[in-house]
């Protein structure tokens, strides 16, 4: 099976698995991450086959929906790629990216080992900020039954992945605990330029949100 067939079958697999998901981790999230990853990967001269496979499979079974277990996603990805007879070194690379790319807390730095990993991580993080990121934050917050905002509950700095996984704060806090931090944690110059624009929009949204919260606008 050639690379195009592998990518096409993987895309269909992910569509079937994540289509209609309502928390912001659906097929269309994967679709946007894939487009961003290919765009960045072309600029960074990366292995686009690895980039595309990792982007397509990165949320195939997110730890957020597996009681914090971050081993299930890479396991499913490995099983799928083995069935397609993908080379072992490519499978290992893709699964490593999926395992390591998640944000693990404001006090935890998640370093990617390879250029391809950096690219897919950037693409995923770009989809967490800007207008799309705002929409996804509230979709996920509603999905988890969280308050939009509660001024009595302050944002936290999570010093470990375990602490971050157990966080149940309001959605607005998530902007300060993660989303506004992502601009400075992009790996590639291409992603940094995009992130600056999206971060500016989020800051404008929050300014407006708090004005309306106080009834000033």
Hey, which of 19-23, 24-28, 122-126 has the most confident mean pLDDT?
122-126
pLDDT tens sequence across 61-79: 665 544 545 678 888 899 9
Residue 1, pLDDT score: 75
Give the domain range for residue 195.
Answer: 3-213
Q: Is the pLDDT of residue 107 over 60?
A: no
The share of the chain scoring above pLDDT 70, in percent, equals 88
Determine the Cα–Cα distance for residues 171 and 146; give it in Å rounded to an integer. 7
Number of domains in the chain: 1
pLDDT recorded at residue 68: 46
115 pLDDT above the threshold of 80: yes
Cα dihedral 205, 213, 138, 157, rounded to 10, equals 80
- Dihedral sign, CA of 26, 22, 96, 114? positive
Q: Which 8-state DSSP code applies to residue 190?
A: H
Q: Mean pLDDT throughout 133-142?
A: 94
CATH number of the domain at 42, please: 1.10.3210.50
Mean pLDDT, residues 25-30 taken together? 91
Give the chain's mean pLDDT: 88
User: Is there a contact between 111 and 187 (Cβ–Cβ < 8 Å)?
Assistant: no
Q: Is residue 82 a contact partner of residue 91, using CB atoms and an 8 Å limit?
A: yes
């Amino acid at each position: 099976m050639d690379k195009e067939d592998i990518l096409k079958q993987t895309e269909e697999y992910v569509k079937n698995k994540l289509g209609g998901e309502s928390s912001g981790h659906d097929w269309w999230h994967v679709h946007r991450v894939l487009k961003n990853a290919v765009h960045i990967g072309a600029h960074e001269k990366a292995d686009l086959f690895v980039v595309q496979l990792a982007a397509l499979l990165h949320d195939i079974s997110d730890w957020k929906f597996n009681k914090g277990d971050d081993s299930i996603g890479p396991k499913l990805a490995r099983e799928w790629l083995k069935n397609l007879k993908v080379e072992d070194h490519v499978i290992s690379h893709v699964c490593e990216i999926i395992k390591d790319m998640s944000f693990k807390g404001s006090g935890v730095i998640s370093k990617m080992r390879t250029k391809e990993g950096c690219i897919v991580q950037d693409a995923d993080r770009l989809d967490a900020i800007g207008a799309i990121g705002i929409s996804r934050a509230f979709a996920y917050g509603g999905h988890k039954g969280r308050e939009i905002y509660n001024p009595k509950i302050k944002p936290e700095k999570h010093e470990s992945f375990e602490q971050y996984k157990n966080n149940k704060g309001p959605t607005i806090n998530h902007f300060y605990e993660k989303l506004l931090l992502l601009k400075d944690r992009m790996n590639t110059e291409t992603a940094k330029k995009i992130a600056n624009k999206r971060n500016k929009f989020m800051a404008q949204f929050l300014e407006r949100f708090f004005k309306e919260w106080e009834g000033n606008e």
